Structure 1
């Protein structure tokens, strides 16, 4: 069935491409009329009396659909004349008796209705096709502008990061200020890389597992084999805005692990996402470092990293919790987006 529909669609498209060729259009009308006339002659003895117009209706309808209004009218006129002369008794004459004129009138009326309906369908289809082409062009233009915007944003982030690098070199004597600028630069560079990755047109349908693995490897530099990474995330896709915040959350946690858990540059990290609950996702990130220091009060902590993590959790309409057992486990519970 689909093959038949595809065939007729291609045939229609082939004829529509030649609508500016007037001779071709009227030639098609004459050709369809000729085929209908030939079929009517061949089947004349097989048909009962009273069907002089039988084979001409399909010719008129096909002509009107494939090559337009006026060729359809020409085909209808030729068909009426041929049926009148050859197949309405007395044959080979143009009898003008009332029954003959009534039969011709009905044929022309039905043909006119068919042609009018088909012409309306053609106009509607052409309008729909034009709107689809316009919408497709607008979508392409929108995607181009959006990609350009994201590219500029990523470039601006990278530029600001480079400016922070230059500024930190001027503050070599101030360790605290240098560390703050270096930390800000790293965050901006990471944000720039994530931004490029997430808004790359080639990554539109990339599963979350692949994105998180790439981002984690980028932060941990696991390709040298010193930090083992395990990612247990289902092959799901989330909205880009949610993925961006989630990625930044993962980056912040892993950055903290690099600072505090992997001071020697070695260790293991496991990233898991539990999607079995109906309303929320649960993301857990565990490292095998020493965990939280003794007496550390999470509720009273005012460190920048903790504030950033809680801010990301609020953006995702979720909560973050920490467990210090055989390393540090960070759990983010966030709402599903319908």
Structure 2
């Protein structure tokens, strides 16, 4: 089968072999002509046509068939050395043509079925390999998620010590875990497979604000990066979700405001800028030294991306995250 496919994909060699097969069949027919009784004009031509059609393809098989019909008609069907047809010779020629046509058609259909079978086997093998990869990725993702949940709960546990209202600490933990679940649902939704990064972030942020009853917050998303690998996209989504939640608490208390995200490439890095039009950060405030859990969570996410965070006030709160890009990122 591999030899047949090799020849079928090389028409020059295929037609050359077809012509050679016909000449060999014609030579053999002349060689055994004296030993054959009358009535076997096609004896050596049948295998030549069938083998050529099988190994070289339908076109070369038809060429050999036509040459064989003409040769048998002229040299081996009475009246010899003539294309004159009697009723018996006409039946013999038509019978030969019908048999060759049926054989070539069957071989053509068989090769088409075998080709589709090979393609289906290759597709099945690809799907199996993809399934193995996805399963390994799922195991890796589950382990990472469990580690993240454990670290998050540990941070909330430390925060709960000495708190007058420990219930609020668990409310914060629940909110962050719900954000994580929301992100995973969006990323692994098959309908979102071709969703652009700006559209994905817009849906994520809009969902956070709508769930909190802040439908009047104006959301602006600009991304000059179309795609990020899923590992970093999850962490980036958690950063955006945390900043959007912080804006809900501190910038949009009256239910209105503006929230903007800009994601752009810069040299060998990607830059995420998130701003709101709230009161901004207090003068002299140093987030890196803050004991507030939200900032510790954000710094943890930034470390996962090998990035750096910068917090400042600029007509509201402005947070800038710079993290390395890689070859899988796709700029718009």
> Normalising TM by the smaller chain, what interval?
0.5 to 0.7
Structure 2 residue aligned with 1:284: 273
After superposition, the Cα gap between the structure-2 partners of 1:335 and 1:196, relative to the gap in structure 1 and judged at 3 Å, is: same
Seen in structure 2, the aligned counterparts of structure 1 residues 208 and 78 have a Cα distance that, compared at 3 Å, is closer
Unmatched 5+ stretches in structure 2:
1-7, 9-21, 23-44, 82-106, 154-159, 328-332
Counterpart in the other structure of 2:222: 232
Aligned to 1:264: 254
Cα RMSD for the two superposed structures: 4.6
**With CA pairs under 8 Å and 6+ residues apart, which has the higher RCO, 1 or 2?**
2
Q: State the TM-score, normalized to the length of structure 2.
A: 0.58
Summarize the Cα distance change of 1:59–1:131 in structure 2 as closer, same or farther, 3 Å threshold.
Answer: same
Q: TM-score scaled by structure 1?
A: 0.57
Deviations 1:62-98 (A, max 9, x none): 7325999xxx7xx979976x5664334997569xxxx
- Unaligned residue ranges in structure 1 (runs of 5+): 1-11, 13-32, 34-54, 95-117, 165-170
Matched residue SS, 1:192: helix
Alignment of 1:147-226 (within 5 A): 176-221=165-210, 225-226=215-216
SS at match of 2:271: strand
Tell me, yes or no, if the aligned pair for 1:220 and 1:258 is still in contact at 8 Å.
Answer: yes
Partner in structure 2 of residue 293 of structure 1: 282
Answer whether contact 2:288 2:295 (CA < 8 A) is retained: no
- 2:285 counterpart SS class: coil
Task: Quote the offset at 1:215 in angstroms.
Answer: 0.7
Picking from 240, 248, 253, the partner of 2:238 is 248
- What is the DSSP-based 3-state SS (H/G/I as helix, E as strand, rest coil) of the residue aligned with 1:230? strand
Deviates more, 1:256-265 or 1:136-145: 136-145
Change (3 A) 1:259 1:86: same
Aligned to 1:47: none
User: What is the alpha-carbon distance in structure 2 between the residues aligned to residue 229 and residue 78 of structure 1?
Assistant: 73
From 289, 311, 314, the counterpart of 1:325? 314
- The reply to whether residue 87 of structure 1 matches residue 92 of structure 2 is no
Secondary structure class of the residue paired with 2:287: coil
Alignment size in residue pairs: 239
Query: 1: CA distance between counterparts of 2:312 and 2:280?
Result: 8
SS of the residue corresponding to residue 195 of structure 2 reads: coil
1:322 counterpart SS class: strand
